[in-house]
Amino acid sequence: MSDTPYFKHHVFFCMNKRDDGRNSCGDHGAESAQKHAKKRCKELNINGQGQVRINQAGCLDRCEEGPVLVVYPEGTWYTYVDTSDIDEIIDTHLVQGKVVDRLKI
């Protein structure tokens, strides 16, 4: 087996929707943000093997800080408000390899 990771960056968007009234990522635009990220990475041609993978995830247990996403292998957690925040994470972290401090949890 190769020690080279299959993806350079693997991004998981929490899509959780809680039924008990507590804050959840799914209630704060997580689905549209994930779709936007996936589309933008395809447009930038940075998706696929050896590059970036954008995935949905169930509860990541940080909804009270959300909506949230996590970038692996670094394990960097982010919150976001809108697609401009998602674009900044893509441009800065996924393309340039720099953490977006203002969105980091």
Task: Render pLDDT for 78-99 as a digit per residue (tens, 0 to 9).
Answer: 999 999 999 999 999 999 999 9
Neighbouring-strand partners of residue 12: 55, 70
> Residue 67 is inside which H or E element, if any?
none
Are 47 and 11 spatial neighbours (Cβ–Cβ below 8 Å)? Answer: no
Are 40 and 87 spatial neighbours (Cβ–Cβ below 8 Å)? Answer: yes
pLDDT band at 105 (very low <50, low <70, confident <90, very high): very high
Neighbouring-strand partners of residue 13: 56, 69
Across residues 14-34, what is the average pLDDT? Answer: 90
From CA 64, how far away is CA 56, in angstroms rounded? 18
